[in-house]
Amino acid sequence: MSRGKVPRQDGNTSATMTLLYMAAGGWIGQAVHVAAKLGIADVLEGGPKTPSEIATVTGAHPEALHRLLRMLAGLGVFAEDTEGRFGLTPLADGLRSTAPVSLRAFAVMLGDEMLWRPWGELLHAVQTGEAAFPYVFGAGLYDYLSTHPEAAAIFDAAITDRARQENKVVVDAYDWWPDTIVDVGGGQGSLLTAILAHAPNARGVLFETPHVAESAKTMIERAGLATRCSVVGGDFFRSVPARGDLYLMRRVMHGWGDQDAIAILRNCRKAIGQNGRLLIIEHILAPGNAPSWGKMLDVQQLVLTNGGRERSEEEYASLLTAAGFKLRRVILTSSTASLIEAFPVAESS
């Protein structure tokens, strides 16, 4: 069978079997999650091993682990040889912690209860238009993370790994000439540190919620950028640091409904100079029926947030106009991220 595809039945892939595997997709996601959580791909870096050998290292039950490995091997994640040993495949390689493009942390997050339980209430979200996350946990995602440090660590590791994978693509796609770059909602600073390494004459300001800002300071210091980059804690619904040349937001807008997104943009408009620029990095939803990671993330936002969504270019243009900006261009990249560049519109007297 073709690795990573729906298995064939009697030489044909029927629509019914394809739909069956889609309907059972939650099983597959949890199986990948468990493999990531146990670090099986890391154990196999030295070569194929038997389920018993893997179980000894990971602390799993040998027979149960064999059944999991057999299922995943049937999907192209791991492969069983004639001696009953399991080894890495191109798909399994992405679960290694040290892989150039590692999805291990992301797979751990996707299978964690903070995501699979709200997804189990997708029907509630679709019927009511309300986020499933607070329906399940009694609090919004970020409030929940602030009181559940283990979940927050899983979330931060996953987001940081995914961000790190697209950093080079984003950095190479843009001319980072400004003197001061203000990264609004910049997380732990992986993108800003990559930009500052690429643009040695630029300075940075990382702006985040206070508890995230504290952890970001460590990353900035480890990158040797403490003298060129300050870290500021605050609330972007109140204000953002002023006098920046470029205001940068990656994966911020998609977490908020239109009115909240406009409020954040207006605070950027108040802080930015007339010659400044705004750069939003997000998915751009395209029309048509083509498979789209952005369309899947759009439903993820429906599940997790009240009002968060992925948007089209026209929808971003509308938000920008409402906040006093004008969309100048959209830069597509080889990753799922697009760069949306805008300029402040002169305020009428």
Which residues are known catalytic residues? 254
Q: Which residues are 282's β-sheet partners?
A: 338
* HSE of 349, CA atoms in CB hemisphere, 13 A: 0
Counts for the chain of helices (H) and strands (E), in that order: 17, 9
Query: From the CB of residue 29, how many other CB atoms can be counted at a distance below 10 Å?
Result: 16
What DSSP character marks residue 317? H
- The strand pairing partners of 69, in sequence order, are none
Nearest to 327 by CA among 310, 314, 312, 336: 314
Question: Cα angle vertex 221, ends 220, 227, to 5°?
Answer: 90
Residue 136 phi, psi dihedral angles, 5° rounding: -85, -45
Question: Helix or strand or coil: residue 18?
Answer: helix
User: At 292, is the secondary structure helix, strand, or coil?
Assistant: coil
From CA 3, how far away is CA 13, in angstroms rounded? 14
Decide if 253 contacts 261 (C-beta within 8 A): yes
